[in-house]
Structure formats: C-alpha cells, structure tokens
Amino acid sequence: MDGYEEKLEREKQWYAQAAFQKEHILNSRMFYSYERVKFNHSFPKRRLSQLIGQVIECYSLMDPSILIAPLGVGDDIRYVSHLSDNISGIDLFPGAIDKVADSTIDTYVGDMKNMTMFSDEQFDIVMVPLFFHHFVKYGFDDFLREAYRVLKPGGHFFSLEPSSLNPLSMLAWVARKIFGNITGTVEDERPFNPIKLSDAMMRCGFCDVHVLGASFTHSRVPIWLAKVSNVVTSPFLTFPIVKYLAWLCIFYGRKGD
C-alpha cells in the first residue's frame, strides 16, 4: 500500500488531470452522458438534503452550522443552502476551492484527517458526500474521529457513499477489470460494503447510527429509465437488507450529548 501522502497527491492529480476516455465504446452516448450522471446523482443528494432538513426540524436547530467536507467545486452547496446561512467547506485541492461560485460560504484548503482550522465542537452538522470510497484501503477511523471532534455535543453526521453490493456496481467493477480505467477515476477508488462504514462510525463514538438507501439507480442508467426506477424503488430504500443493495447509501450518526 502506498503511503498516505502519496495517496493525497493522487487525489490532487485526479482534480488536475482529466483521464476520461471519450473514444471508448462504453463511454459513447449509448452507455454514458454527463447529463445522465448529473441527473442520477441529483436524486440521492436531494434525498440526503431532505433527511438533513428533517433532523434540523426534529432537533429545532436554528440556522445550524454546517460543514461540507470535502467541498470539491461546490456542487453540494445547493442541496443545503436553503437549510442554513452558516455553511463552511473544506477540500484538499486549492484548484477545486477556487472554482466554488458561492461566495457566501467560508472555504478552507486542508486535509480532512487533520482539520486544524476548526475548533472542537464547532459544527451542528458535518456532511461528508462521496469521500470514503476514495480511502477504502486506508481506513475510515481517523477521518471519522476528526469529524466527531468538530461536531458539537448532540451534533449530526451524514455521509453518502456507493455500495459494493449493488448489482450494477458489481458489473462496473468487472468492466473495469476487463477494459481498464476508462472513466478516469482515482485508481484505488471503489464502492464498499456499507457495514464497513457504519461499524467504523460506532467504533469512533457515534450513536444512533443508521444506514438508508439513497438510490438504486446507477449513474449510467438513462434518464427516462431512472425516473421510472426512482419512483418504483423508493419504497424499498429503507427495507432491511435490501437498502444495502442501493447504488448510493446514506449514513447517519449523532455525537452524544
């Protein structure tokens, strides 16, 4: 296994270099489009936003302090901007932070494993979208402990991650073994068993840990089919066992009072 610093450099290079193979048949309009990917990510992220909103209402949080980590280029801001005027974001890559269009949030460059710019018990909510599947080989505990540190007592943790148990995720993994990394993802990025993260959350002190399905519809599913799938499969997103088969899962945990 490469060292952690080498891993961080690979993550930075992923931002800086586009390695998507447009000419490959599996990346043709028949199998892939930017619009398709964007649409299929919006459904689970809206579901995540709804759950955050429900928690804010349930716990009567007034203008809660929210940390988005990692922030990336700011695509996730729109899913929580209506919930609070007190939003911060952190990302490893300065080039990503520079592209954040929303000037109303506080942005920081740094490592999520060591967020020294934030004090203990600073945030009501920490939202970690699509991050842990980049670090499966390196473990989740150090990142979770840091998120736990910056949460206020009773604060809430949310994450959104791909499940390796989803049939299309399994098929994509097989295709990658056969055709190589045609999408230009980070080499060691991969979906994982949702129980791996929920167990780590409990191990790091979070209570009331829950896993919910966010969407069964893989990013490569055509939009028209995705619309049908989202309606038909929504009732199953909270079913025991079945929820782990979702393409993306939502993870929730609370810091003890």
pLDDT (tens digit, 9 = 90+) per residue, 71-92?
A: 999 999 999 999 999 999 999 9
- How many domains does one find in the chain? 1
- 13: confidence class by pLDDT, cuts 50, 70, 90: confident
CA distance 166 to 248: 8
On whether the pTM is more than 0.85, the answer is yes
Range(s) of the domain holding residue 125: 4-254
Q: Is 64 left (phi over 0), alpha (psi -120 to 50) or beta?
A: beta
Q: Is 245 left (phi over 0), alpha (psi -120 to 50) or beta?
A: alpha
Q: Which of 5-9, 152-156, 165-169 has the highest mean pLDDT?
A: 152-156
86 burial level (CB within 10 Å; 0-12, 13-18, 19+): middle
CA distance 249 to 48: 9
pLDDT (tens digit, 9 = 90+) per residue, 95-112?
A: 899 999 888 899 999 999
Find the CATH number of the domain harbouring 49: 3.40.50.150
